[in-house]
Amino acid sequence: MSSQYAPNGAKHRSVRYLSMKMILGCGILLIILISAITGMTATAQQTSPEPEKSAVSKVLDPALEKINGVLGTVLMYNVSGDTFQKSVYDEDGEPVVDPDTGELKKETIAVPLIVVTLAVGAVFFSFWYRWITIRGFKHSIDIIRGHYDDEKDEGEISHFRALTSALSATVGLGNIAGVAIAIQQGGPGAVFWMMTMAVFGMASKFSSCTLSQLYRQYNPDGTISGGPMYYLDLGFRAKGSFWAPIGKFLAVMYAFMVMGGSVGGGNMFQANQAFKAFSDTFNYPEKYDWAFGLVLTFLVGVVIIGGIRRIGAATSRIVPSMCGLYIVASLVVIGVNYEKIPESLFLIFEMAFTQNALFGGMVGVIVTGVTRAAFSNEAGLGSAAIAHAAAKTDEPVREGLVAMIEPFIDTIIVCLMTSLVVIVSGVWDKKELADGVIMTSAAFDTVLPWFRYILTICIFLFAYSTMISWCYYGERGWIYLLDHFGHGAGLRSVVVFRLVFVFFVFWGTVNELTTVLTFSDMMILSMAFPNIIGSILLAPTVLKIVQDYWRRFKSGEMLPDR
């Protein structure tokens, strides 16, 4: 029977593979063709003081601003009131004078409750788990290298694959564009607070991913569901009937938040920065942003709606190589400017405690650093716990130890390299380079003028793979919520979420960076509310299994397989 149908099956696979190559290739060619057709207007765009917006952008950008205004009053509640203020500066860097009072114009430096929640949670977990991020660092490297792998353990993927899966959604534009935005908003000192937050944030990620293993759910088809929705629900239920409704409330809240995060930071920001990079590199007129948006929307749609998963799989295989290429290029730029490294590091440290009003003083710099760190490495947000829940292990603490390495790689290594590239190249204080990826691209131009083309391809692939990864995270939230209306209801209706997700790809492309960034920050960071609160309340349970694991590890009961 199998031999009879093998040729037809092979033919089907061949045709399908060819179709996928054609779809992806046609999409890229279409982008290039649009650039060529509309390129004749690029010169006019460059000479004009302000890039001309498309008609679509003029409609959708104000709409998103209104949404930001409504959501911001709740999600970004300012706990400091008017305590901290900074001077307002014009485009030339000159302080603005209030015409009514004749005094320098001031604006409030907001300290959002969510930023405080992230910082307090990270510090709490670091001390509560007795700085396991430091004492367990070497052990975590051994786990990642496969020394403790056991094929008989329950799960779907190895520790290493769980790590790389989670990193594929974190290492990307947060490192390339996010760092440039942090420096633009908070000066070089913001990098210091990004790294500080990453050190403490390792404990937040350890907590989330340990919980995701402890309370993961096995489905009838053999797959595993996990993440904050499940450990908040099941974990609180295990604490008793009093806690069960609290856990259910936090789980439902998180499911809504992760859907918001997926269409915000995991989608709109990615699409926006992919377009900005393409527009800047190829002099593509911004008034045709809608055309680029349609092509990108189509390419994302054929994977998440059309089910052509191999394109996404191929992209995820390419991304690590792109990441490696980016790191090598960063080292080249830093190496060429090696004599500026000491002064750049000193500048990062010095300006971390600055009172420079241009960056909002020390408070403004800290808020910027904490925000951009969370956006980059996702520590405290709980998103990575969804990927780590599927790892093969019977030791929840072991997976938490693997996961805590992510903020170290993402922020302390990759983000620091990007920040040094931007600072040593001397472009960090250029006002005209204010669109995130454009500043990073200009920094590479100072040493590798040709690299901007490769960087644009890297950015496109980073954005593409991140959107696909975050769509999966959002789907998990949708499925968890809809399954309350009947088992399987979430999976049957998930196409509705995918259609909404695809629309947000287009919306993110045609909007201004500032509007998209505000929305993305709110959506991404709000995920920390239920996750941090729930994880703190479940911390005593986790501490017990951490102490038991560490006792067995120190006593030699856990000898590595090799």
Give residue 25's pLDDT. Answer: 52
Checking if the pLDDT of 2 tops 50, the result is no
Between 222 and 59, the higher pLDDT residue: 59
- Give the domain ranges of the chain: 113-552
Checking if the pLDDT of 295 tops 60, the result is yes
Tell me the average pLDDT across 105-117: 85
**Band (39; pLDDT cuts 50, 70, 90):** very low
Give residue 530's pLDDT. Answer: 94
**Band (5; pLDDT cuts 50, 70, 90):** very low
Between 538 and 465, the higher pLDDT residue: 538
Checking if the pLDDT of 550 tops 60, the result is yes
φ/ψ of residue 81, rounded to 5: 60, -130
Say if strands 224-225 and 217-218 run parallel, antiparallel, or are unpaired.
Answer: antiparallel
Between 390 and 221, the higher pLDDT residue: 390
Name the range with the highest mean pLDDT among 198-212, 352-366, 458-472. Answer: 198-212
**Band (50; pLDDT cuts 50, 70, 90):** low
Per-residue pLDDT reduced to its tens digit, 312-330: 566 667 777 777 888 888 9
Look at residue 225 and give its three-state secondary structure.
strand
Q: Please state, in angstroms and rounded to a whole number, the distance separating the CA atoms of residues 257 and 247.
A: 15
Per-residue pLDDT reduced to its tens digit, 387-406: 888 777 788 998 899 889 88
Give residue 245's pLDDT. Answer: 94
| Residues ≥6 apart with Cβ < 8 Å to 513 | 272, 273, 276, 435, 436
Contact 228, 121 (CB under 8 A): no
Percentage of the chain modeled with pLDDT above 90: 32
Per-residue pLDDT reduced to its tens digit, 413-461: 888 999 999 999 988 888 776 667 888 888 998 888 888 888 888 888 8
Angstrom distances, CA of residue 246 to CA of 82, 250, 329, 530, 549: 33, 6, 49, 10, 29
Percentage of the chain modeled with pLDDT above 70: 80
Checking if the pLDDT of 257 tops 90, the result is yes
Tell me the average pLDDT across 21-27: 51
Per-residue pLDDT reduced to its tens digit, 229-247: 999 999 999 998 899 999 9
Of 526, 543, 407, 411, which Cα lies nearest the Cα of 125? 543
Give residue 243's pLDDT. Answer: 93
pTM confidence score: 0.84
Total residue length of the chain: 562
Q: Please state, in angstroms and rounded to a whole number, the distance separating the CA atoms of residues 444 and 457.
A: 14
Cβ atoms within 10 A of the Cβ of 238, count?
Answer: 15
The burial of 543, by beta-carbon neighbours within 10 Å (0-12 exposed, 13-18 middle, 19 or more buried), is given as middle
From the candidate CATH numbers 3.40.50, 1.10.4160, 3.30.70, 1.10.10, the one assigned to the domain spanning 113-552: 1.10.4160
Tell me the average pLDDT across 498-510: 93
Checking if the pLDDT of 186 tops 70, the result is yes
User: The tokens of 477 are what?
Assistant: 């939230």
Tell me the average pLDDT across 191-218: 92
Q: Is the dihedral of CA 443, 448, 449, 450 positive or negative?
A: negative
Angstrom distances, CA of residue 222 to CA of 158, 218, 237, 486, 551: 16, 6, 23, 19, 32
Give residue 12's pLDDT. Answer: 47
Identify the weakest region by mean pLDDT among 5-14, 115-124, 140-149. 5-14
Beta-bridged to residue 551, according to DSSP, are none
Give residue 315's pLDDT. Answer: 62
Give the 3-state secondary structure percentages of the chain, helix then strand then coil, rounded to 5: 75, 5, 20
State the chain's mean pLDDT as an integer. Answer: 81
Checking if the pLDDT of 1 tops 50, the result is no
User: The tokens of 19 are what?
Assistant: 């179709």
Identify the weakest region by mean pLDDT among 258-267, 356-365, 540-549. 356-365
Give residue 16's pLDDT. Answer: 47
Identify the weakest region by mean pLDDT among 41-45, 46-50, 247-251, 443-447. 41-45
Give residue 48's pLDDT. Answer: 42
